[in-house]
Chains A and B, each alone.
Chain A
Amino acid sequence: MNGEPTKTPEPNATPAPASAEPAQPARLAPATVVETPFQRFLSEYCESKIAVVAFFVFLAILFVAVFAPVISPQNPYDLGQIDIMDGRLAPGDTTFDGATTYWLGTDDQGRDMVSAIFYGLRISLAVGALSGVIALMLGAIVGLTAAYFGGKIEAAIMRLVDLQLSFPAILVALMLLAILGKGVDKIIIALVIVQWAYYARTVRASALVEREREYIAAAKALGLSSWRILLRHLLPNVLPPLIVVGTVQIASAIALEATLSFLGIGLPITEPSLGLLIANGFDYMLTGKYWISFFPGIALLVTIVSINLIGDQLRDVLNPRLRR
């Protein structure tokens, strides 16, 4: 976000003079504290305890997902490490010789559920984040183009966006997967197509406002190219709403991927995401072996709720109308 043409004179990240800005709210210790925009963002974010908790929970989930191969008790997909004799053990049971304890039980193949969930989180988060980032970039470019050029291009793009948003996400995904078939690449494509329209709409709405501002007129007067104005001037200024929508969208992408994988039309069984773990456990549910579905579901739930809580707080902090 560097080089951002700020709307209000704010102290930049460069060493600021000791005099605090007069517009700075008086709730802070007067004159001695100088806040960079990032520090202000941080202190506003931390006003909600639950959002701070959610952030650390999410950080822990991210850590588990990234370092799953290192911290998991076993590699659940290495057939040498699992023993089918340990299949469907209840949480807290140990192996026959008592050497290993399965804190969350095992699945039908004798996989340790803790390890399976760690690996599952890795796949779920990777698919959700990757599709979210691609959709964000695609939506941002399309939305910016629509807002900046206007006219027929804008009308055509927005008609497409409206058309797609008139169908529920799950139906669009279902349609795409029915056409494309199964696979990691296929589900990422489907999630990108489902999500891009939300980003495009958000970006266009805020870019329409920004387009009319003086700094854009100034950039045009300087004779800068359209692409330069779009990417270096317009884009940084529409980032805050984009980040908020992005957070919520990644949570819903993770939920949608889990749902589709559960239905058996998402990821293939070679990529066992949380949704597939839950689907697998569902087969044993009726015999009372709840843990194979229950714990992956809790992991999924905690992930989605923590991302949503972070998104909620970001919305409040980044919303210019709530600027205090």
Chain B
Amino acid sequence: MWAYLTRRLAQAIAVVFVMAVIVFFGVNVIGNPVDILINPEFTEAEYQEAIRALGLHLPLHEQFFVFLGNALEGDLGISFVWGEPALQLIAQRLPATLELAGAAMFLSIVLGVPLGMYAGSKPHSWVSKSIVSSSILGFSLPTFWVGIMMIMVFAVMLGILPSTGRGDTVLVFGIEWSFLTWNGLTHLAMPAVNLALTNIALVIRLSRAGTREVMLQDYIKFARAKGLSQRRITLVHVLKNTLIPVVTVLGLELGSLIAFSVVTETVFAWPGMGKLIIESIQVLDRPVVVAYLMLTVLLFVSINFLVDVIYSLLDPRVRVSGAR
């Protein structure tokens, strides 16, 4: 077990290191930071001074080690645009993104599981067929366009939901949350549904397949024979066994939700870190871009690491073959 864990951890650290190399050299070699950072009207002396101050006179590999050392201390540079540490800037926007991703996750479960279970338990009814076909549409529809159409229908035509922004927030545990106020909830509704669409479709498919499989099992027949009500069979026996694959896949999808929030946040002007990264790429605010990319890489590697560790705890075969 420990052999597997150390091996897997070393692998995760290696991935983060490789990504740091790619991101740093990519951003600093392909683009020239001097052009963006330094006022073109500087004199030669001021120019050299500025280069020295930014550490750009060092050879590239030394610059990288400076960057790496600072990064380990949690210093990823200062935003050119905002004049604040890049990491702090992202940390301020993180709760908004997490709230959006959390709401989307919640929606995909409470909408996806019942719809999928219904479609799985009555596969031939027309309702089930339309659920399944709309889930195919959920995969094909471009998220950003659906978001725009939602704004058009609910904000412009019907005028029942606000089109953009985050609304009122409440301070809980030092972090601002918008789902605790009515105004905040109305602002959250459309972005959350928009971000959840693909995942709702995914959950519908998973729980439909799961339900169809579970319905044929002997323990369901036995429960019927025992005279349990259909309601109890569905809510207890089928639901429990259907949820296992759904939960596994959704755990892995949390990272994608955060990555995809880039699109939803831009459409709905949701003040999260996805909107920040797009703005930063457009104005070439490199420290923020690097910080965002490094943080997301770290997040993904951690999620994958945790999932692997949990699997190895649940399934001994993984750690045996993995420790070879």
- Is B15 interfacial (CB 8 A cutoff)? yes
Q: For residue A285, which residues in chain B have a CB less than 8 angstroms away from its CB?
A: 148, 151-152, 156
A168 to B254, CA, bound (A): 11
B300 to chain A, nearest CB (A): 6
Q: Is the CB of A178 within 8 A of B149?
A: no
Q: Is the CB of A288 within 8 A of B156?
A: yes
Q: For residue B259, which residues in chain A have a CB less than 8 angstroms away from its CB?
A: 167-168, 170-171, 174
- Is B185 interfacial (CB 8 A cutoff)? no
- Is B272 interfacial (CB 8 A cutoff)? no
Q: For residue B106, which residues in chain A have a CB less than 8 angstroms away from its CB?
A: none
- Is B142 interfacial (CB 8 A cutoff)? yes
Q: Is the CB of A166 within 8 A of B304?
A: yes
- Is A180 interfacial (CB 8 A cutoff)? yes
Q: Is the CB of A177 within 8 A of B293?
A: no
Q: Is the CB of A293 within 8 A of B140?
A: no
Q: For residue A259, which residues in chain B have a CB less than 8 angstroms away from its CB?
A: 142-144, 263
- Is A230 interfacial (CB 8 A cutoff)? no
Give the interface SS of chain B, mostly helix, strand, loop or mixed: helix
Q: Is the CB of B278 within 8 A of A264?
A: yes
- Is B266 interfacial (CB 8 A cutoff)? yes
> Considering only CB atoms, which chain B residue lies closest to A162 in the complex?
B304
Q: Is the CB of A167 within 8 A of B142?
A: no
Residues of chain A from 170 to 191 with CB closer than 8 A to chain B in the complex? 170-171, 174-175, 177-181
A294 to B152, CA, bound (A): 9
Q: Is the CB of A170 within 8 A of B145?
A: no
- Is A247 interfacial (CB 8 A cutoff)? no
Which residue, of B144, B148, B267, B281, has the highest number of chain A Cβ atoms within 10 A?
B144
> Considering only CB atoms, which chain B residue lies closest to A177 in the complex?
B281
Q: Is the CB of B142 within 8 A of A300?
A: yes
Other than the known A297-B145, A308-B140, what 15 A-B pairs have Cβ atoms closer than 8 Å?
A170-B259, A170-B262, A174-B262, A179-B26, A179-B30, A179-B31, A181-B30, A255-B142, A262-B145, A282-B148, A285-B152, A293-B145, A297-B148, A300-B142, A300-B145
Pairs of residues from A and B, 10 with the lowest C-beta to C-beta distance, nearest first:
A179-B26, A297-B145, A171-B259, A168-B256, A168-B259, A305-B140, A178-B289, A262-B144, A178-B281, A255-B142
